[in-house]
Amino acid sequence: MNRLRLLITGAGLLLLAACSGPSDQSATAATVDTAGNGDSLPAPFATESSVNLSKVVGWPDSLSPKAPEGFSVTRFAGGLNSPRWIYIAPNGDILVAEARTTPHKGFGANMVEGSRNINKDGGANRILLFRDTDNDGVPDMTSNFMTGLNQPFGMLIIGSSFYVANTDGVWKYAYKEGDTRISGPGKKIVSLPAGGYNNHWTRNIITNQAQDKLYISVGSGSNVAEHGMENEVRRANILVTDLEGGQEQVYASGLRNPVGMDWAPGTQTLWTAVNERDELGDELVPDYLTSVKPDGFYGWPYAYWGQHPDPRMKGAHMELVRQSLVPDVNLGSHTASLGLAFSKGGSFPAPYASGAFIGQHGSWNRSQLSGYKVVYVPFKNGKPDGKPRDFLTGFIVKSGESEVHGRPVGIAFTKSGYMLVADDAANIIWCVKANTTR
Q: What is the pLDDT of residue 123?
A: 65
Whether the predicted pLDDT of 106 surpasses 70: no
For range 350-358, the mean pLDDT: 95
Whether the predicted pLDDT of 270 surpasses 50: yes
Whether the predicted pLDDT of 2 surpasses 70: no
Whether the predicted pLDDT of 325 surpasses 80: yes
Whether the predicted pLDDT of 9 surpasses 90: no
Whether the predicted pLDDT of 8 surpasses 90: no
pLDDT confidence tier of residue 237, bands split at 50, 70 and 90: very high
Share of the chain above pLDDT 70, in %: 85
Asked if 258 and 291 touch (Cβ cutoff 8 Å), the reply is: no
Q: Give CA–CA dist 96/427, Å, rounded.
A: 11
For range 311-334, the mean pLDDT: 97
CA distances from 205 to 78, 123, 180 (A): 26, 20, 21
Whether the predicted pLDDT of 115 surpasses 70: no
Whether the predicted pLDDT of 289 surpasses 80: yes
Question: If you average pLDDT over every residue of the chain, what do you get?
Answer: 87
By DSSP bridging, strand 161-166 and strand 169-174 are antiparallel
pLDDT confidence tier of residue 20, bands split at 50, 70 and 90: very low
pLDDT confidence tier of residue 264, bands split at 50, 70 and 90: very high
Contacts of 401 (CB under 8 A, 6+ apart): none
For range 139-159, the mean pLDDT: 96
Contacts of 349 (CB under 8 A, 6+ apart): 70, 434, 436
- pTM recorded for the entire structure: 0.88
**Which value, to the nearest 10 degrees, does the dihedral of the CA atoms of residues 369, 389, 62, 55 take?**
-10
For range 4-28, the mean pLDDT: 34
pLDDT confidence tier of residue 199, bands split at 50, 70 and 90: low
Classify the C-alpha dihedral 344-348-353-359 as positive or negative: negative
pLDDT confidence tier of residue 198, bands split at 50, 70 and 90: low
For range 278-282, the mean pLDDT: 96
Q: What is the pLDDT of residue 171?
A: 98
Whether the predicted pLDDT of 31 surpasses 50: no
For range 325-330, the mean pLDDT: 97
Domains of the chain by start residue, with CATH: 3-14+46-434 (2.120.10.30)
| Choice among 67-81, 102-116, 145-159, 270-284 with the minimum mean pLDDT | 102-116
Contacts of 74 (CB under 8 A, 6+ apart): 64, 137, 430, 431, 433
Asked if 310 and 277 touch (Cβ cutoff 8 Å), the reply is: yes
Q: What is the pLDDT of residue 344?
A: 83
Whether the predicted pLDDT of 396 surpasses 90: yes
Q: What is the 3-state secondary structure (H, E, C) of the chain?
A: CCHHHHHHHCHHHCCCCCCCCCCCCCCCCCCCCCCCCCCCCCCCCCCCCCCCCCEECCCCCCCCCECCCCEEEEEEECCCCCEEEEEECCCCCEEEEECCCCCCCCCCCCCCCCCCCCCCCCCCCEEEEEECCCCCCCCCEEEEEECCCCCCCCEEEECCEEEEEECCEEEEEECCCCCCCCCCCCEEEEECCCCCCCCCCCEEEEECCCCCCEEEEECCCCCCCCCCHHHHCCCCEEEEECCCCCCCEEEEECCCCEEEEEECCCCCCEEEEECCCCCCCCCCCEEEEEECCCCEECCCCCEECCCEECHHHCCCCHHHHCCCCCCCEEEEECCCECCCEECCCCCCCCCCCCEEEEEECCCCCCCCCCCCEEEEEEEECCEECCCCEEEEECCECCCCCCEECCCEEEEEECCCCCEEEEECCCCEEEEEEECCCC
Q: What is the pLDDT of residue 7?
A: 42
pLDDT digits (tens, 9 = 90+) for 180-193: 999 889 999 999 99
Q: Give CA–CA dist 381/265, Å, rounded.
A: 9
Asked if 214 and 240 touch (Cβ cutoff 8 Å), the reply is: yes
Q: What is the pLDDT of residue 121?
A: 54
Asked if 279 and 255 touch (Cβ cutoff 8 Å), the reply is: no
Cα-only R_g, the chain: 20
Q: Give CA–CA dist 155/340, Å, rounded.
A: 14
pLDDT digits (tens, 9 = 90+) for 400-435: 999 999 999 999 999 999 999 999 999 999 999 998
